[in-house]
Amino acid sequence: MTQVDQYKGKLGFEIRDPDALSNGSTAVVDTLEEYGHSVRQFQSRNPNLIRLDCDHYRVELRYRRHPIKPTQASAAGADSTETPLRSSLGVTLTPNHPDHCDVELSELLLAMVLRRLAEDLDVATVDWLHVPFTLTRAAFLGVFEDAETHAESHAQSAADHAAPDAYPVTEIAADIAGIHAAKSSAPLSPQTTPEAPPPAATPIDAALDTPPPLPQPTNGAKPVANGRLRGRACFEPVEVTIAQLEEHYAAMLQSPDTRATGRHALEARNRARARAKAVMTPPRSSGTAVARLGGLLAAMPQRMIATTSHLLRSPQLRGHLHIVCGATALLALQSSAAVAF
């Protein structure tokens, strides 16, 4: 694949259009999105330059104003004519991945962008890639019209040639009825009856007797155009692919390594389940109840102490507790004769 760094085109104007850049950027964005290249970033820091970042390309639109520049523009079927240009709009497509970019598709995309700009703007001339001459607007757009007309005529002629000679339906039905009648009236003992000449071949007989086309072999040569596979030749038939996959999976399942691996995996899973079940299942014995009761009895003093401390810390009982403690202290002092009332 020939590596191309940039794809360039230029549109010439006989007037200075200040809105050519803004209107042209809108047309370019619509064309790119129409052909599957969504614009991810739009940069317009320079008043005469707009950059568009897509998935596969970077597009630049640059508008230039210059003095009157006489340009020789070639028209279709006529000699070149001198066209005075006062401004121009350049379009540049730069691939993000040049090594994996198709040259023909990139050129077609640039052609469609220039066509949309030539239709929406008041364009006088068109420069296409590195072609050494300049085209007029009518000559450039006429190429697309001729291509569309040629494609339509080619499709119509192909449809006309593809249609077989019309064979009346009534004659086809008569042929089928004649075949069944000949088969039903045939004698049971062909040894005693002279053989009748075979009936004349009809189109319906030829169609019924023609075997279906055999699929192309997978290892055979495929149609190649310009060193590249084209159309359905790039892919194997679906039936062949399914058959190959089924054979491959069956061979994998029947291989000794696969069976051994599956057996070892099953045994490891059973062992892991047994260990988990042994850990999660509590032992059933008489000592379990005794141990549980001992744990409850040992935890009771701790619970009582915790409940008492919680009650003593309660703000509702704090004042009453102080009064009780003071009265108890006075009674103790009086009983020891340390204080007399």
pTM attached to this predicted model:
0.45
Residues near 144 by Cβ (< 8 Å), separated by ≥ 6? 115
Does 311 score more than 50 pLDDT?
yes
In degrees and rounded to multiples of 5, residue 228 shows phi and psi of: -140, 140
Helix (H) or strand (E) holding 11: strand 7-13
In which band, very low, low, confident or very high, does the pLDDT at 100 lie, cut at 50, 70 and 90? Answer: confident
In which band, very low, low, confident or very high, does the pLDDT at 111 lie, cut at 50, 70 and 90? Answer: very high
Residues near 121 by Cβ (< 8 Å), separated by ≥ 6? 11, 13, 17, 20, 23, 24, 27, 89
Mean pLDDT of the chain: 75
Q: How far apart are CA 108 and CA 36, in angstroms?
A: 13
Q: Which residue has the higher pLDDT, 132 or 1?
A: 132
Contact 126, 138 (CB under 8 A): no
Q: What is the pLDDT of residue 259?
A: 64
Q: How far apart are CA 57 and CA 40, in angstroms?
A: 11
Q: Which residue has the higher pLDDT, 5 or 227?
A: 5
Provide mean pLDDT across the span 80-90: 89
Residues near 13 by Cβ (< 8 Å), separated by ≥ 6? 20, 85, 86, 87, 88, 89, 121, 122, 123, 124
Tell me how many degrees the CA angle 192-198-199 measures, rounded to the nearest 5: 130
Contact 41, 53 (CB under 8 A): yes
Cα-only R_g, the chain: 47
The per-residue pLDDT for range 41-74, each reduced to its tens digit, is: 999 888 899 999 998 999 999 999 988 888 888 8
Most confident of 115-119, 181-185, 271-275, 326-330: 115-119
Helix (H) or strand (E) holding 311: helix 286-312
Q: What is the pLDDT of residue 50?
A: 94
Q: How far apart are CA 115 and CA 135, in angstroms?
A: 12
Does 191 score more than 70 pLDDT?
no
Say which amino acid occupies 197: P
Residues near 2 by Cβ (< 8 Å), separated by ≥ 6? 103
Q: How far apart are CA 9 and CA 125, in angstroms?
A: 11
Q: What is the pLDDT of residue 243?
A: 86
The distance of Cα 241 from the centroid of its chain, to the nearest Å, equals 22
Instruction: State what percent of residues in the chain have pLDDT above 90.
Output: 25
Most confident of 121-125, 128-132, 162-166: 121-125
Q: What is the pLDDT of residue 307?
A: 74
In degrees and rounded to multiples of 5, residue 317 shows phi and psi of: -100, 0
Does 93 score more than 90 pLDDT?
yes
Q: What is the largest CA-CA distance in the chain?
A: 159
Q: What is the pLDDT of residue 94?
A: 94
Does 90 score more than 90 pLDDT?
yes
Does 91 score more than 90 pLDDT?
yes
Residues near 176 by Cβ (< 8 Å), separated by ≥ 6? 204
Q: How far apart are CA 20 and CA 49, in angstroms?
A: 11
In which band, very low, low, confident or very high, does the pLDDT at 212 lie, cut at 50, 70 and 90? Answer: low
Q: Which residue has the higher pLDDT, 174 or 19?
A: 19
Provide mean pLDDT across the span 310-338: 75
Provide mean pLDDT across the span 120-139: 89
Residue 165's region, left for phi above 0, alpha for psi from -120 to 50, else beta, is beta
